[in-house]
Amino acid sequence: MNTNILTTEVQYFINNNLNKDVVQLIFKGSPFKEIPIKELANQIICKQKSDKKLPTWFSTKNIYYPNKISIEQSSSEITAKHKASLIKGDTIVDLTGGFGVDSYFFSKSFKQVVHCDINTDLSEIVTHNFKKLNVSNITSVAINGLDYLKKTSLKIDFLYIDPSRRDANKNKVHFLKDCLPNVPENIDFLFSKTEKILIKVSPLLDITSAINELKFTKEVHVVAIHNEVKELLFLLDKNYEKEVTIKTLNIKNEMLEEFNFQLPQDTISSNYSFPKKYLYEPNAAVLKSGGFHEIPKKFNVEKLQEHTHLYTSNELISFPGRRFEITEIIPFHKKTILKKISNRKLNIATRNFPKAVTQLKKEFKIHDGGNEYGFFTTLSNNSKVLIINKKIK
């Protein structure tokens, strides 16, 4: 940690160059002999990345930024706040602390937080930043989280783990057992230290596979921001053997779209229908959850087809996703489609359809934009159609 970066003149330089071309700055070289240009550029790049993702850090004076990968891999403030709202207690140990965003927000709902990270430099940086953020109930220790647990006699209410999705050779992995640390392999040891565990995993991870790899899963939270899934959270409770609750959340500015259900769910939906007056597209969190056949049970809608994850009704309802009013249904015949939409502005998507969006745009000369939305899809009689809609706010 180069403390020269924290001097008044250097901080002024960083803040004064946040909107400048960093490549040009690197080309000019560092104006400070104690600070290499790469270090200076890294501070500027990381602060730029923190503007929207980590506004508390961005707006706090004398924050020190680590390598940019630590910023890229950290939770956003929005998702960290959500995690902290799910759990509370006296003591939580963050086994994979990283830049400390999750630990910071856990400090609002726990009396004591232990932040573990094996990277000594990162641990030093995080300790400095917590002081600047006026947090006094977090202890940062430069140690492997599992090793910390082996040594401590602390009574722990919660363990939090965000396993690295890369193996020892830096290759991306897609199963929990291949992540670092290996949670399934250490699950019995972890539960010897606490009764409750919260695990954050990649949005790409298969939910069912992860549940099968773990023990005592009580809840799975699928968290999306503006219809992009950011996190999967697994809440484990020692000796819990009942049904798993799936909770989906799509955060859209001040609005929250929520949809919850329990596993195991029925595999076959009993309600299929041709398109009616309104069409509904589930948000990304619901789609990731796999709760397609639970939607007709919770809402007064019917599914278009078993593998077509679109729903319809004659009455307009609240729905966790986008809502449309159907204006036209066009059978998928090339001449008919060309006659109806050639050179027309249309925002198109496919659901359970054999052709890709890029192929359809080219084939039918569709231009993006306008106020109309089109879904190329398959109905319950297996016919292919284009459904034209107006979006409902």
Q: Report CA dihedral (308, 321, 263, 222) to the nearest 10 degrees.
A: 120
Per-residue pLDDT of the chain (393 residues; tens, 9 = 90+): 999 999 999 999 999 999 988 998 899 889 998 999 999 999 999 999 999 999 999 999 999 999 999 999 999 999 999 999 999 999 999 999 999 999 999 999 999 999 999 999 999 999 999 999 999 999 999 999 999 999 999 999 999 999 987 666 667 777 888 888 999 999 999 999 999 999 999 899 999 999 999 999 999 999 999 999 999 999 999 999 999 999 999 999 878 999 999 987 666 666 899 999 999 999 999 999 999 989 998 999 999 999 999 999 999 999 999 999 999 999 999 999 999 888 789 999 999 999 999 999 999 999 999 999 999 999 999 999 999 999 998
CB 172 within 8 A of CB 164: no
Cross-strand partners of 377: 351, 385
The position carrying tokens 């937080």 is 113
pLDDT at 167: 62
Q: Which of 80, 54, 160, 88 is nearest to 117 (CA)?
A: 160
pLDDT at 266: 64
Can you give the pTM of this predicted structure?
A: 0.92
Q: Residue type at 223?
A: V
Q: What is the largest CA-CA distance in the chain?
A: 74
Cross-strand partners of 160: 94, 198
DSSP 3: G
Whole-angstrom CA distances from 371 to 139, 171, 172, 185, 284 are 53, 43, 40, 52, 21
What's the start-to-end Cα distance of the chain, in Å?
49
pLDDT at 12: 95
DSSP codes, 23-57: HHHHHH--S-TTS-HHHHHHHHHHHHHHHHH-HHH
CA–CA gap between residue 83 and residue 71 (Å, rounded): 18
